[in-house]
Amino acid sequence: MNDVNPLPLTTSVVFRLGTLGSVVTARFTTALAELELKPKHVGLMVALDSGAPPSQLELARIMAVAPSLVVSLADHLERIGAVDRVRDPADRRRQVLALTDTGRELLADCTALAHRLDEELTASLTGPEREALRRTLGLLGAEAGLPTSD
């Protein structure tokens, strides 16, 4: 495993995406704070909007997080009116979540915010370079099992 590679670590895709991901996550987190949200709140709303199974336990599995985190995220989103939490009539032990109209509006605000950050991040790229980056990240994301809308 001690293969010698003449290129420095900083030239690797893994290092560059990881480092850039940290920077972008920090920017997105800061921007979301004005909406009283964190990236995981947005992830939960995206999962609900995509038609994911609405039970908290199923959402935890899809999001690859602890069920207690989904409960905490849902508590916050319910407090701000973004989701409704109801008992499943078919199984009273199961709680299901649904985006409210307020939640859809909030998700639209998050989408607009993300696109503004995209513009800032890619301002130095040409149109074709932006499209190539978007397409390439979509392919890599799909291969990693992430949801895509392409």
**In a domain? residue 106:** yes
Residue position matching structure tokens 């893994």: 14
Residue 135 has pLDDT above 90, yes or no: yes
**In a domain? residue 15:** no
**In a domain? residue 128:** no
**Domain encompassing residue 56:** 23-121
**In a domain? residue 31:** yes
CATH of the domain at 74: 1.10.10.10
**In a domain? residue 38:** yes
Model's pTM, two decimal places? 0.86
**In a domain? residue 149:** no
Residue 137 or 88, more confident: 137
DSSP 8-class letter at 83:
E
Determine the average pLDDT of the residues in 81-91. 88
**In a domain? residue 115:** yes
Closest CA to 63 of 80, 78, 46: 46
pLDDT in tens, 4-59: 778 999 999 999 999 999 999 999 999 999 999 999 999 999 999 988 777 888 89
Residue 38 in contact with residue 24, Cβ under 8 Å? no
